[in-house]
């Protein structure tokens, strides 16, 4: 379901500019073909992509009167090469796992080839083939067949991507190509202004069929290769815009919620008239059941003037002309998106989920938060940050909170919780137990949290938040860390009375330490991209190991190191650490391989550095890093640079071998 809002067009005095985005979206969603021409040995190329259209017919593709690409049907060949040597292992793995392309591997490149019968090219800012041949046969049926495949693709609408190039980056280069008729349907994208990458994907159905026809007919992009455009692989490009402030009010009752969000946006340029956000449109709770909806009802500027937008898979918004690079946008959202997983008396709007509009790039997320949450009794709302007030208003429990430092994520949790607080000095640790009061467990967890925080402050610096909440989740075997909070599962709250509690309790101290460490390695130091996720996961894991060594014993630390060494082999040959999130294939194996890189091999790199530097210098390195990048984005380049500054040794070969390469340190 798509929501297309014309904003000011509905007003009698609407300007032509106000209608530009909706008008373009409407035509770009209903493409027309121009006159077909015979094609004989034509070619098209950009970046590392080359197309050869041997014989057939092609027609321009029109969005209204605007040419936005072309459609070819006949005999063609695609050639794509990657020269990004660090991705060679994961390219080879993914091609074998999810595609059937011909692959030629050389020392300095991998070349992928396939035939195709149809290709649809969307482009902006690039030269297209000159279609001046003699008249060709109508391509209506071929185009319809192609659209029948790619209309099922669960990805951003073409119209949204085209709109960003047209209205915000008219001098930028953009290509989206869709191939069918070969061994696999394929998709390719190139842009030099938004993501600044070129990527090749295979297109395939879900890994596991659900029996829900609506879900099973979807197609998904599976990454084969991603290469940087205009920047080095170790650098994260500056995002087109950043979210610097979030102020929201949420009112929830049952499954339904109303969410009003005011966002402060900083654009790289005041000429960016269309912004593209991540924004959920639906959530599948269970196959065969109607999905839950997020409905964006309106978007306005700071003065309340309606702005044109289109919401479907993601969200594009057209801004008024203004010289200022900073704008404030107000979003009104409602829907039945409060989901009680497993029928629990609790729901969560989670970390990293686009339950409110977010920049598509992690490097664009660094925002302060002010929130007011009202939920129908007996549910109790929990939000991260300093508590401004916690009150009852009639039938509602209300909490207002504030985070005055820029964070990358936030969340809302609500349910049948009992709250316990312990204040020591200026710090407050709050424990939220689910369903039943559990004062004994709350006291034990509070003591453990304060002990770990005290130790982390020794080598990571002052704890970043005054209040910290520990929230019980009715499940087993995992934890998660929003800012100023952590989720931890039942075994942390339950005496060891059942086999399942005993099974999962074995790693509870390490998970507990890991999630608290995320307050440093996720918020004090943020990751600018998925390629830098080891800065949050591997550093948190190693910090947790140091905490266990200090608070428990040396044997616990050594057992963790031994576990890392054994598990690191699961993914080491599949991908280097920065490309852990690109691994495709069997979902279970992909998860194991990704985990082995971020939670096992990454900590082993830090263990190797620790052995080389010794305790004093290594702990000084960690504290210096968190101090230098306090509530900033970190990078692996910065890690290597700080190590070189401290030791006068060049650590680039170390990171080339173990971080960008597949070797495991001894």
Helix/strand/coil (H/E/C) assignment for every residue in 350-379: CCCCCCCCEECCHHHEEEEEEEEEEEECCC
What is the mean predicted confidence (pLDDT) over 611-621?
A: 98
- The radius of gyration computed from the CA coordinates of the chain, to the nearest angstrom, equals 26
447 sits in which H/E element: helix 439-460
pLDDT in tens, 16-39: 333 489 999 999 999 999 999 999
Question: How many beta carbons lie within 10 A of that of residue 592, not counting itself?
Answer: 15
Q: What is the reported pLDDT for 480?
A: 79
Note the pLDDT of residue 552: 87
Residue 471 φ/ψ, nearest 5 degrees: -115, 125
pLDDT band at 322, cuts 50/70/90?
confident
User: Nearest CA to 414 among 402, 395, 399?
Assistant: 399
Asked whether the beta carbons of 600 and 563 are under 8 A apart, the reply is yes
| Geometric angle at alpha carbon 64, from 61 and 69, rounded to 5° | 20
For residue range 515-566, list pLDDT tens digits in order: 999 999 999 999 999 999 999 999 999 999 999 999 888 999 999 999 999 9
Calculate what percentage of the chain has a pLDDT beyond 90.
Answer: 86
Q: What is the pTM of this model?
A: 0.94
Cα–Cα dist 386/484, whole Å: 9
Pairing of strands 186-191, 174-180: antiparallel
Q: How many CB atoms lie within 10 A of CB 71?
A: 23
Q: Specify the pLDDT at position 598.
A: 98
pLDDT score at 507: 64
Q: Which class in CATH covers the domain with range 238-415?
A: mainly beta
As a whole number of angstroms, the distance between CA 421 and CA 413 comes to 17
- Residues 157 and 191: their CA atoms lie apart, in Å, by 15
Q: What CA–CA distance (Å, rounded) separates 316 from 163?
A: 8
Mean pLDDT of 313-332: 94
Q: What is the DSSP letter of 584?
A: -
Residue 497: per-residue pLDDT: 43
Is the pLDDT score of 504 beyond 90?
no
Beta carbons within 10 angstroms of residue 429's beta carbon: 21
- Per-residue pLDDT of 226-254, as tens digits, reads 999 999 999 999 999 999 999 999 999 99
Position 10 scores a pLDDT of 28
Per residue in 345-391, pLDDT (tens digit) is: 999 999 999 999 999 999 999 999 999 999 999 999 999 999 999 99
Average pLDDT over every residue of 257-275: 96
How is residue 306 written in tokens?
A: 């309606």
**Intrachain domains 238-415 and 525-658 with the same fold:** no
Report d(CA 68, CA 128) in Å as an integer: 10
H runs (alpha helix) in 35-157: 88-98, 140-150
**Of the options 3.50.50.60, 1.10.1200.10, 1.10.1040.10, 1.10.390.10, the CATH number for the domain spanning 525-658:** 1.10.390.10
The 3-state DSSP class for residue 98 equals helix
pLDDT for 566 equals: 96
Instruction: Give the pLDDT confidence of 445-496 residue by residue, as tens digits.
Output: 999 999 999 999 999 999 999 999 999 988 766 677 999 999 988 877 765 4
Strand, coil or helix: what is 291?
Answer: coil
> Which residues face 203 on adjacent strands?
221
At 155, is the pLDDT very low, low, confident or very high (cuts 50, 70, 90)? very high
- Please state, rounded to an integer, the average pLDDT across all residues of the chain: 93
- Grouping H, G, I as helix, E, B as strand and the rest as coil, residue 546 is helix
Average of pLDDT values for 170-194?
97
Q: For residue range 105-145, what is the model confidence (pLDDT) as tens digits? A: 999 999 999 999 999 999 999 999 888 777 888 999 999 99
Question: Region 152-175: what's the mean pLDDT?
Answer: 96
- The Cα 59–Cα 36 span in angstroms is 4
* pLDDT at residue number 73: 98
The residue with tokens 């620790």 is 610
Extents of the domains making up the chain: 31-228, 238-415, 525-658
């Amino acid at each position: 379901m798509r929501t297309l809002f014309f904003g000011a067009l509905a007003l009698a005095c609407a300007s032509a500019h106000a209608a530009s985005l909706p008008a373009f979206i409407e035509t770009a969603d209903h493409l027309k073909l121009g006159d077909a021409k015979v094609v004989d040995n034509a070619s098209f190329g950009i970046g590392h992509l080359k197309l050869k259209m041997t014989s057939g017919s092609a027609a321009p593709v029109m969005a209204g009167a605007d040419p936005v690409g072309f459609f070819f049907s006949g005999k063609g060949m695609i050639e794509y090469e990657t020269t990004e040597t660090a991705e060679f292992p994961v390219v080879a793995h993914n091609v074998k796992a999810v595609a059937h392309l011909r692959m030629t591997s050389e020392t300095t490149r991998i070349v992928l080839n396939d035939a195709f019968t149809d290709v649809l090219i969307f482009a902006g800012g690039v030269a297209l083939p000159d279609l001046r041949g003699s008249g060709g046969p109508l391509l209506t049926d071929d185009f319809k067949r192609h659209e029948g495949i790619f209309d099922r693709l669960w990805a951003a609408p073409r119209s949204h991507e085209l709109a960003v190039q047209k209205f915000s980056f008219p001098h930028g280069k953009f290509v989206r190509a869709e191939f069918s008729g070969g061994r696999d349907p394929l998709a390719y994208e190139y842009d030099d202004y938004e993501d600044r990458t070129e990527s090749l994907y295979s297109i395939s159905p879900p890994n596991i069929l659900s029996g829900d026809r609506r879900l099973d007919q979807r197609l998904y992009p599976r990454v084969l290769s991603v290469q940087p455009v205009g920047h080095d692989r170790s650098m994260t490009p500056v995002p087109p815009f950043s979210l610097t402030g979030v102020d929201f009010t949420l009112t929830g009752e049952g499954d339904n919620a109303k969410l009003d969000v005011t966002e402060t946006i900083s654009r790289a340029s005041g000429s960016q008239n269309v912004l593209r956000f991540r924004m959920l449109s639906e959530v599948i709770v269970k196959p065969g059941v109607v999905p839950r909806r997020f409905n964006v009802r309106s978007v306005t500027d700071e003065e309340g003037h309606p702005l044109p937008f289109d919401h479907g898979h993601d969200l594009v918004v057209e801004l008024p002309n203004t010289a200022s690079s900073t704008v404030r946008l107000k979003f009104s959202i409602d829907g039945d998106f409060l989901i009680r997983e497993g029928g629990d008396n609790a729901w969560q709007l989670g970390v990293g989920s686009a339950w409110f509009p977010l920049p598509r790039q992690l490097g664009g997320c660094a925002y302060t938060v002010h929130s007011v949450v009202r939920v129908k009794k007996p549910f109790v709302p929990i939000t991260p940050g300093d508590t401004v007030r916690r009150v009852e208003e009639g039938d509602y429990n209300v909490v207002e909170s504030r985070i005055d430092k820029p964070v990358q994520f936030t969340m809302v949790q609500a349910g049948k919780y009992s709250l316990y607080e312990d204040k020591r000095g200026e710090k407050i640790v709050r424990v939220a137990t689910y369903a039943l009061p559990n004062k004994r467990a709350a006291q034990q967890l509070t003591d453990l949290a304060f002990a770990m925080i005290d130790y982390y402050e020794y080598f990571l610096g002052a704890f970043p938040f005054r209040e910290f909440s520990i929230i019980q989740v009715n499940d087993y075997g995992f934890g998660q860390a929003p800012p100023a909070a952590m989720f931890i599962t039942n075994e942390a709250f339950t005496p060891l009375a059942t086999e399942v509690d005993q099974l999962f309790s074995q790693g509870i101290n390490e998970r507990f330490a890991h999630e608290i460490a995320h307050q440093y390695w996720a918020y004090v130091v943020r990751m600018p991209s998925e390629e830098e996720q080891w800065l949050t996961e591997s550093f948190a894991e190693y910090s947790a190991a140091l905490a266990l060594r200090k608070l428990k014993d040396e044997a616990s630390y050594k057992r963790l190191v031994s576990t890392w060494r054994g598990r690191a082999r699961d993914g080491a040959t599949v991908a280097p650490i920065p490309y852990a999130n690109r691994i495709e294939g069997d979902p279970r194996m992909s998860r194991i391989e990704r985990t082995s890189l971020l939670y096992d091999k990454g900590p082993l790199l830090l263990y190797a550095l620790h052995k080389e530097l010794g305790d004093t210098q290594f702990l000084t390195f960690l504290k210096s890093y968190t101090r230098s990048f306090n509530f900033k984005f970190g990078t692996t380049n910065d890690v290597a640079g700080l190590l070189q500054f401290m030791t006068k040794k060049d650590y680039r070969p170390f990171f080339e071998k173990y971080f960008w390469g597949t070797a495991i340190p001894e």
